[in-house]
Chains A and B, each alone.
Chain A
Amino acid sequence: MKKVFLFCAIVVLVIGIAAMPASSLAKGKGPIKIGFIGPMTGHAAQTGRDMFSGLQLFLIEQGWQVAGRKIKLISEDTEAKPAVALTKVRKLVEKDGVHVLIGGLMASTGYALMPYVDAKKIPAMYVIMASDDLTQRKRGKYMVRTGWSSSQPSHPFGVYAAKELGLRKVVTIGYDYAFGWEVVGGFQRTFEDAGGRIIQKLWTPVGTMDYGPFLGRISKDADAVFALFFGGGALQFVKQYKDYGLKDKMTLLGGGTTTDESVLPSMGDEAVGTITTLHYSGALDTPENKKFTKAFKEFAGKAASYYGEGPYTGGKWIIEAAKKIKGDVEDSEKFLNALKTLKLTGAPRGPYELDKFGNPVQNIYIRKVERVGGELQNTVIKTYPKVSQFWTYDVDWYLKQPLYARDYPPLKK
């Protein structure tokens, strides 16, 4: 029996120690606390590290302080699971007392966090999470999206493909879940409105490693193929696309992640000539971007991709907003307002601001993979300035349409 009580005493002690930081929370003006969440373990760990590096890099450049206050960065692992992210965000908010949250990769994480941050009134910076409805039909008040929405880069690209590339018939192939549907759906809407036609839509499960069966089904009538993949899937698809002899017959187009700088260095000549679209390119020829990519390479030891740029710029966004309110981040209403009305210049991706739904209005770059100085890069071949998430459509009309899905827009007969 004695030992049982001894055990209980130990339990109490452990819990007590674990709980201590909360009770000793500084009452006065301590540091500004930024809570970062991202996948540090699991299949998306590399992406999570890139995100973390981007944010760290900015804060180092900033000297870990703003408006006379120190900055403290606390990071937590989400394992790329929304439920875990929610638990970790509770910890960051309730135990660590962070003033602002940043990060998150999966769209589902974005939806999971929204009710919580609204209830706790903690601004949350969505720098990567791109699901359309976060700033369209299911908006949250305390979410500040400085990243992008999935279909945003696809809209101008559809017009570009029809008008400037002169394509008429395109086959789409992409991951069979919300992100894939939205990127492909955005392309389909504007491409068809500009006179083109999608003649076939193929969907592959996330994690597919052999695209042979899908490539064999691609219609030979097509002028081009629009592909949406990321990570290992992107590497494999682009390679097999050439192996199956399709590269010489049909131009390969794609969503930004298909040739993102996080996978591009692992690709070979099979990727050259692929045209994709995103709100960022590592090859952007601006002084800000050159400085960023150089610093990122030195800091993280690898090429900067939009996964690094998003949190880097997000960190800058937080700091600029904190400056504007003279560091008074405890007033979360005021802080949120500053975050939402900021107009940022000098970001690697170019100038941008948020629309009234909280999504960036920013440059969209059409990029072509080229080999420059022995290395592959996404050369910008056209810039669409100030692109809104609704493209040129009427906002009310747009919001009345369903969200892009597997079968929406439907194939035209």
Chain B
Amino acid sequence: MITEFRVKISGIIAAFILLVILPPTLPSYWLTILTQMLIFGIMAMSLDVLMGYMGRPSFGHAAFFGVSAYAIAILSTRYQVGFLGCVATGFLLATAIAALYGLLVAHAAGVYFLMITLALGMVIWGLAFRWVTMTGGDNGIAGIPRPDLGIPISLDDPIVFYYVVLIVFVIVLFLLFIFIHSPFGQSLMGIRESESRMRILGYNTWLHKYLGYVVAGAFSGISGILWAYYNGFVSPMDAELTASFEVFLMVILGGPGTLIGPALGAGIIVFLKNFISAYTHRWLLIIGAIYILTILYAPGGVMELGIRFAKGGDKE
């Protein structure tokens, strides 16, 4: 009998092998799209910690992404800060904002959690849009150089940059996997199932939710760092509500609570956006239809479909 775990592991290994050996054969355009998929994959996985494992869907997840992207942009274009300084500041700033926001949202659940995170996310967007002397306002900040790692290999080369992103992606996947399978991660799932029961069992549920939120924010910050270097450009749209929605939908499509599912969802959305839109201006209709079909027929997302398909004949 094929267990779900074996399907997942073999799928991940197969996908990983593809991601390692395929890229050198790809034209540069598809390489950049693949890089983009991985970056949003990291962000979707970080949101999955909140949505899938903690049961707290958020509408403001792009805020942390935006904060770290802006930190990189401002430090590297205006103050010529080196690579390590940029990355450390970007990551710490995103984590700090998450730690601050966490205090305000950790007590909430359901639609209240959605609304508070939405509002807090818009605060970051507002800062990016209106703090013109610092962020360039609506015009954004262009010309972010690819980092100089102090090694003889240049990150300007799309293939090198791709492999750097891939390494970060694998590390993040590994860390988040450990995180959610740790006793702490299990307690988050407990809170998702029944918070009152967890409280009676003696868990400080507020603290657990708070830390879960901070971890999710910090990992979203990592994707923001990669994004700033990848695009060489940030604008308020990166931290906007629609950006938060988009990751939200990536998680839904991929399957919340599966970690690898949301990454897959991110890949599919990025691919569809860039592939279908070349053929029709009505591409949003197609993506919309895919969402509706997912919610109606595969509430567990693409991941569930995949597992169902792989297990196929083996009736349990």
Contacts and interface: CB of A to CB of B under 8 A. Distances in A.
Interface of A: 1, 3-5, 7-8, 11-12, 15, 18-19, 22-23, 40-41, 74-77, 81-84, 86-88, 90-91, 94-95, 106-108, 111-112, 114-116, 131, 133, 138, 176-179, 405-406
A110 B148 CA distance: 26
B235 A83 contact: yes
Contacts, number: 116
Nearest to A81: B237
Contact of B237 (A1, A19, A75, A83): A83
B32 A82 contact: no
A406 B231 CA distance: 28
B278 to A, nearest CB: 7
Contacts of A11: 18
Given A41-B283, A177-B137, A15 B235 contact: no
Contacts of A95: 27, 29-30
A15 B140 contact: no
Contact of A111 (B14, B28, B129, B139): B139
A15 B138 contact: no
A87 B238 CA distance: 14
Interface of B: 2, 7, 10-11, 14-15, 18, 22, 26-30, 32-33, 36, 129-130, 132, 137-140, 142-143, 231-233, 235, 237-238, 273-275, 277-278, 281, 283-284, 306, 309-310, 312
Contact of A4 (B11, B32, B132, B283): B11
Contacts of B30: 15, 18-19, 22, 95
Given A4-B10, A19-B27, A95-B27, A83 B137 contact: no
A308 B147 CA distance: 41
B138 A87 contact: no
A192 B224 CA distance: 44
5 contacts: A3-B312, A15-B26, A87-B36, A91-B33, A112-B231
A77 B132 contact: no
A109 to B, nearest CB: 9
List the 6 shortest-distance A-B pairs measured between CB atoms, nearest first.
Answer: A94-B29, A22-B27, A95-B29, A40-B281, A112-B233, A177-B138
A82 B22 CA distance: 29
A347 to B, nearest CB: 27
